[in-house]
């Protein structure tokens, strides 16, 4: 069964450093998303991506964040200068759009900013 994969599973970084979180969505999906979950809190939407551009973003997704689909398979989230409060679990998701609104989630990347 196709699945969304994410790497790395755990990333530790120093405050102020850049990190790139990687995701491989399900191959025939059209919509891609990033969510985050701060420890013990709910899952929050960051950004959605369709047709090679951002379709929607939340207030969390400020200028420190960017997304990219550099090739036909990867979908990345970059945090330019990490802050302590960026420590969270980051989930990538993809959906087929027209056929089903179901979003398939990856296993997550746990980001720890020291």
Rule CB under 8 A: say whether 60 interacts with other proteins. no
Distance between CA atoms of residues 44 and 50, nearest Å: 19
In this chain, which of 42, 52, 59, 72 binds other proteins, going by CB under 8 A? 42
Cβ–Cβ < 8 Å for 21, 76? yes
Instruction: Name the one range near other proteins by CB under 8 A: 20-28, 38-46, 62-70, 78-86.
Output: 38-46
Residues ≥6 apart with Cβ < 8 Å to 50: 30, 31, 32, 97
Best CA proximity match to 67, nearest among 100, 86, 92: 92
Rule CB under 8 A: say whether 64 interacts with other proteins. no
Q: At closest approach, how far in Å is the CB of 30 from other proteins?
A: 7
Distance between CA atoms of residues 109 and 55, nearest Å: 23
In this chain, which of 67, 77, 82, 103 binds other proteins, going by CB under 8 A? 103
Q: Which residues in this chain contact other proteins in the complex, by CB under 8 A?
A: 30-31, 33, 35, 41-45, 48, 50, 55-56, 58, 91, 95, 97-98, 100-108
């Amino acid at each position: 069964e196709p699945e969304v994969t994410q790497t790395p599973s755990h990333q530790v970084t120093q405050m102020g450093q850049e990190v790139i979180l990687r995701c491989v969505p399900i191959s025939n999906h059209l919509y891609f998303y990033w969510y985050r979950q701060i420890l013990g809190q709910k899952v929050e939407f960051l950004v959605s991506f369709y047709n090679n551009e951002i379709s929607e973003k939340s207030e969390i997704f400020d200028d420190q964040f960017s997304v990219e689909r550099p090739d036909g398979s990867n979908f990345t989230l970059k945090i330019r200068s990490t802050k302590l409060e960026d420590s969270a679990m980051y989930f990538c998701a993809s959906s087929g759009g027209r056929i089903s609104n179901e979003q398939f989630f990856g296993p997550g990347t746990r980001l720890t900013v020291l």
